[in-house]
Chain A
């Protein structure tokens, strides 16, 4: 599978004006790739993730071309997108724990959902049971109501449900946020397993917690204030970040074994800009230690090394010099 996104721009219509939440995102995802999408709250990662499957009430598609498996993905057309939803693109939502109808038995709801998508439930049932076993859920959950399940169980159920039709692209939105560390690891490993068994082709894992991504992601894409900052293989991002923001992000992560008498935890001074009226050019400009005049123009998202993309004039400069 492959996902190609070009200049995806999505704004929010609010009473105060237009929030420019996602600006000209261009990237691609390869077959079997688990990409982590990281950044602080409000950086646009959820906007990016959800706009690939469903534009919620206030979201306004402005421009951009998207291609999934060689076919155009018409995110601006709610009706047309229905053909892709669940089958080609699927979602594990942020609110997975409350995503199941509380007054329907899980099995019944699953059947009604599957059949409403014109798939014969009887055909899918054996596979469903196999997958439940895989995530260590008893077959009996199909006969239970959501209230009878624990939070973790519901999460796993939603994971199975969302991937039941083997979508090409799975968007996992903050699926570890509400969990403790050991469960986080288990869930994330499950995700990888799903990919390995080809229940899903590629996964976009949205999270603000980079350490989780390190466990499972093949590549990590960092966003800031609605703009893409950097995308590279997970190792490269952690060990050799190029974008000033990524650098500061990585260095602000606590590392096990390091005591803070030895190395003070550095944060990033300042706050992200409000996106109602964002600054021109690179939006990290005001907090960036190496910003200069060129940064008043929006830096393009360019590949400076194999599979390593960055949007930073300074980096382009030093890279050009290095050549």
Chain B
């Protein structure tokens, strides 16, 4: 089928798949909120604008923290950094996973054994503990650094999946043809194999995106998040420290976790929808 027809067919199914639509809509909504929210925030981030905690009202859309800061401001700014960490962290993990997965899967032999061995070792090591310890030693932490660390510890999952897919593609004729025509390894990988795995790569990225968000939230919650700014995980951290749980300031600790659950859940469901769109066998009649 021609490229054009194929794209149109995919689009056709994409627009009809309810899981994809709902998932993407939810994520999109939150992205919009993250982008435009700050301009709607009445108060600057983390400034003390009230005497103490207040439940949501017309004045404070999402109430104020135990110390009198605007929760809405924290929330919309936090959404932004959450998305950034997801994108960058997930992106790095996917890229690294692609590198390792493609090379190992394509080359085979001892290269694959080595890369696969490394992947498995990192998979077994509880990288979160590692992450904790590494980040604990850093005095100043920014979102970028956090994303890099997350990317560096989450790539094995992507590498594993990509390696398996590469294996199945490598044995196909068009790769043999490329090899015979003398194409270099890198070229083969990026011109022949990767394009055929585009859909799979995209789905892997979405999973990494979601995973990075969860990882970042947990890191932030433990107190190892960025030392400046806000994030959804940090909000929960501050809430716990500020005894929001014991004192019942639900507007402080419920929204951030709810947002994370909604976003990551939507991403996962989107992924299932994408799988159905890309894999004809799964399509419902």
Q: Do chains A and B touch in the complex (CB under 8 A)?
A: yes
A13 to B285, CA, bound (A): 9
Whether a CB of chain A sits under 8 angstroms from the CB of B107 is: no
Whether a CB of chain A sits under 8 angstroms from the CB of B280 is: yes
Whether a CB of chain A sits under 8 angstroms from the CB of B187 is: no
- The number of residues on chain B lying at the interface, defined by a beta carbon within 8 Å of a beta carbon of chain A, is 3
Segment 28-53 of B: residues with Cβ below 8 Å from A: none
Closest chain A residue to B13, Cβ basis:
A15
A15 to B280, CA, bound (A): 9
Which residues from chain B contact A15 at a C-beta distance below 8 Å? 280, 283, 285
- Binary per-residue interface labels of chain B (266-285) against chain A in the complex, 1 for a CB within 8 Å, 0 otherwise: 00000000000000100101
Q: How large is the interface on A (under 10, 10 to 19, 20 to 34, 35 or more residues)?
A: under 10
Give the distance to chain A from B136, nearest Cβ to Cβ, in Å: 45
Which residues from chain B contact A13 at a C-beta distance below 8 Å? 285
Closest chain A residue to B283, Cβ basis:
A15
Closest chain A residue to B12, Cβ basis:
A15
A15 to B13, CA, bound (A): 10
* Chain B contact surface mostly: loop
Closest chain A residue to B280, Cβ basis:
A15
Give the distance to chain A from B11, nearest Cβ to Cβ, in Å: 14
Which residues from chain A contact B283 at a C-beta distance below 8 Å? 15
Which residues from chain A contact B280 at a C-beta distance below 8 Å? 15
A139 to B280, CA, bound (A): 43
Give the distance to chain A from B1, nearest Cβ to Cβ, in Å: 11
Give the distance to chain B from A140, nearest Cβ to Cβ, in Å: 35
Closest chain B residue to A57, Cβ basis:
B285
A13 to B284, CA, bound (A): 12
Give the distance to chain B from A204, nearest Cβ to Cβ, in Å: 28
Closest chain B residue to A15, Cβ basis:
B283
A204 to B280, CA, bound (A): 32
- Binary per-residue interface labels of chain B (244-282) against chain A in the complex, 1 for a CB within 8 Å, 0 otherwise: 000000000000000000000000000000000000100
A208 to B280, CA, bound (A): 27
- Binary per-residue interface labels of chain A (8-41) against chain B in the complex, 1 for a CB within 8 Å, 0 otherwise: 0000010100000000000000000000000000
Closest chain B residue to A16, Cβ basis:
B9
Closest chain B residue to A58, Cβ basis:
B285
Give the distance to chain B from A60, nearest Cβ to Cβ, in Å: 11
A15 to B285, CA, bound (A): 7
Closest chain A residue to B9, Cβ basis:
A15
- Binary per-residue interface labels of chain A (32-72) against chain B in the complex, 1 for a CB within 8 Å, 0 otherwise: 00000000000000000000000000000000000000000
Which residues from chain A contact B285 at a C-beta distance below 8 Å? 13, 15
Give the distance to chain B from A254, nearest Cβ to Cβ, in Å: 25
Give the distance to chain B from A274, nearest Cβ to Cβ, in Å: 14
Segment 166-193 of B: residues with Cβ below 8 Å from A: none
- Binary per-residue interface labels of chain A (193-231) against chain B in the complex, 1 for a CB within 8 Å, 0 otherwise: 000000000000000000000000000000000000000
Give the distance to chain B from A59, nearest Cβ to Cβ, in Å: 13
Segment 131-149 of A: residues with Cβ below 8 Å from B: none
Give the distance to chain A from B178, nearest Cβ to Cβ, in Å: 28
A57 to B271, CA, bound (A): 25
Give the distance to chain A from B282, nearest Cβ to Cβ, in Å: 12
A277 to B280, CA, bound (A): 21
Give the distance to chain A from B9, nearest Cβ to Cβ, in Å: 9
Give the distance to chain A from B134, nearest Cβ to Cβ, in Å: 42
Give the distance to chain B from A304, nearest Cβ to Cβ, in Å: 43
A13 to B280, CA, bound (A): 13
Give the distance to chain B from A15, nearest Cβ to Cβ, in Å: 7
Segment 87-121 of A: residues with Cβ below 8 Å from B: none
Give the distance to chain A from B101, nearest Cβ to Cβ, in Å: 27
Closest chain B residue to A13, Cβ basis:
B285
Give the distance to chain A from B185, nearest Cβ to Cβ, in Å: 33
Give the distance to chain B from A182, nearest Cβ to Cβ, in Å: 28
Give the distance to chain B from A112, nearest Cβ to Cβ, in Å: 29
Give the distance to chain A from B279, nearest Cβ to Cβ, in Å: 12
Give the distance to chain A from B281, nearest Cβ to Cβ, in Å: 10
A15 to B17, CA, bound (A): 14
Give the distance to chain A from B183, nearest Cβ to Cβ, in Å: 32
Give the distance to chain A from B284, nearest Cβ to Cβ, in Å: 10
Give the distance to chain A from B129, nearest Cβ to Cβ, in Å: 35
Give the distance to chain A from B247, nearest Cβ to Cβ, in Å: 55
Give the distance to chain A from B22, nearest Cβ to Cβ, in Å: 22
Give the distance to chain A from B198, nearest Cβ to Cβ, in Å: 21
A13 to B283, CA, bound (A): 13
Segment 161-187 of A: residues with Cβ below 8 Å from B: none
A51 to B280, CA, bound (A): 23
Give the distance to chain B from A289, nearest Cβ to Cβ, in Å: 33
A15 to B276, CA, bound (A): 13
Give the distance to chain A from B277, nearest Cβ to Cβ, in Å: 12
Segment 247-278 of A: residues with Cβ below 8 Å from B: none
Give the distance to chain A from B130, nearest Cβ to Cβ, in Å: 36
Give the distance to chain A from B71, nearest Cβ to Cβ, in Å: 48
A123 to B261, CA, bound (A): 58
Give the distance to chain B from A55, nearest Cβ to Cβ, in Å: 15
4 contacts between A and B (CB under 8 A): A13-B285, A15-B280, A15-B283, A15-B285
Which 4 A-B pairs give the minimum distances between C-beta atoms?
A15-B283, A13-B285, A15-B280, A15-B285
